[in-house]
Amino acid sequence: MELRTLYRLAAPSAVALLALTTGCTGDTVQGRPGASGLRDPYFPRAGNGGYQVDHYALDLDYDPADGRLHGKAVITARAEQALSSFNLDFSGLNVEGVTVQGEGARYNRTGNELTVRPAEDLAKGEVFRTEVDYSGKPKPLVDVDGAKEGWITTSDGAVAVGEPVGSMTWFPGNHHPGDKAAYDITITVPRGYEAVSNGELRSRTEDADGRTAFAWHSPEPMASYLATAAVGPFKVTTGRTPSGVGLYSAVAPGEQAANTGPLARLPEMVEWGSGRFGPYPFASAGAIVVPAGTLSYALETQGRPVFSGAPTEEELVVHELAHQWFGDSVSPKTWKDMWLNEGFATYAEWLWAEDHGGSTAQEYFEAFRTGDTDVDRDAGSDWYAFPPAAPPGPADISAEPVYYRGAMVLHRIRQEVGDEKFFALVRGWVADHRHGNVSTADFTAYAEKKTGHDLKKVWDVWLYGKDRPE
């Protein structure tokens, strides 16, 4: 079952690729095809080899009345090898044309791979611009763990969430967190709708037909799974935190309780997180609240997490906010490193409680060890089922051990090294890997170097050990 689903992220068949790559190549550069996947241990076909994207310019036109999306993606990338062809991950939708460096390019689609063959081969190191025009009704994907992701229609619009690979349902790209890029996303919608994405709103322009174009700018690198686009009759609020971080939140009309619930503490949480983890990593913060029932989860879309319905628990808001440091700024190298996202975001919930008169992190840690569901309702879960650094398969990367045992790994470090060294470690980790990508091995090496402690036992028992830690 899992294997079949994995191959949903299929590479072009050998035959199709052969058909594209035989024949004469360019005059001076002799390229070879870029790889159709980045060999991620859990999603081997996600992403593509041979290039790194610097910038995506997405120009989207969406009409909620008929669910049709017209898109133009301009992808600026650097070739890491001489390329005769390269792949983009793209699911559904019709491709209407592809150009590379302004010249028409041949292309071929197999499964979720769009293979592009430029008129001339690209040289290693060359910065090249690919434009893809496309249209259609985007459809969501169902993940191996049963969750829905990608472009999802809501009761009054649409929202895009992309963990791990759903962003390929609304734009072609290198859909693996190992290739982060800057984004400019412009969304044009009919009168009466707001369109929200990541970063800062640069302009809002109405055309003669009453359609409005919202131009969003994200200069900081972003993994494509964190890109979002949300369309709906949102009520928008803006502001600034006391230290000057911009705020832009969009809330569905039926979810106005968000404005007085836990989300109202977001500015305070941003300041708290900056004190605990170091400066907030983006120019703005906020939230997108879509109608309840749209999704079965919240997602830490960059700068502006998506919540399905007004959040009712502070922990959830703190969790998605904490991901801005852990996951969004400091991103995983592969999906195997997911515990570095979720362990830290869960530990942030414990720290928030500890700092605001709730249970201490030590009490949470003990509650999980003893299964005390009075302290945390998930303490009775099978948090020990597998080591957080080695989920058994792709369906497990969002399972309890990745979150709770991941957080317990962090608390074990704190127990070993004490508060002063622990929080210096956390702030150093965030500062030294700001807007970068990290692996578990990077973390364990960094933790030992930064604290000066031998933490091998913690790694062996809590991070990698198969048995339930005692």
Interface residues toward Zn ion, by CB under 5 A: 342, 345
Least distance (Å) from Zn ion to the CB of residue 323? 6
Q: How is residue 438 written in tokens?
A: 């990290």
Least distance (Å) from Zn ion to the CB of residue 400? 12
Shorter beta-carbon distance to Zn ion: residue 19 or 316: 316
Residues 6+ apart with CB under 8 A from 4: none
Under 8 Å between Cβ of 187 and 60: yes
Least distance (Å) from Zn ion to the CB of residue 177? 14
Least distance (Å) from Zn ion to the CB of residue 440? 17
Least distance (Å) from Zn ion to the CB of residue 385? 18
Residues 6+ apart with CB under 8 A from 329: 220, 281, 282, 430, 433, 434, 435
Shorter beta-carbon distance to Zn ion: residue 9 or 298: 298
Shorter beta-carbon distance to Zn ion: residue 156 or 342: 342
Q: How is residue 399 written in tokens?
A: 């399972």
Task: Count the residues in the chain.
Answer: 470
Shorter beta-carbon distance to Zn ion: residue 195 or 345: 345
Least distance (Å) from Zn ion to the CB of residue 410? 14
Least distance (Å) from Zn ion to the CB of residue 345? 4
Residues 6+ apart with CB under 8 A from 44: 6, 9, 37, 38
> CA 340, 179, 95 angle in degrees (round to 5)?
130
Q: How is residue 302 written in tokens?
A: 């960059």
Shorter beta-carbon distance to Zn ion: residue 150 or 406: 406
Shorter beta-carbon distance to Zn ion: residue 120 or 315: 315
Ramachandran area for residue 16 (φ above 0: left; ψ -120 to 50: alpha; else beta): alpha
Cis upstream peptide for 41 (omega within 30°): no
- Determine the residue type at 417: V
Shorter beta-carbon distance to Zn ion: residue 173 or 406: 406
The span from the CA of 197 to the CA of 334, in Å, is: 24
Cβ-closest residue to Zn ion?
Answer: 345
Burial class (CB in 10 A: 0-12, 13-18, 19+), 186: buried
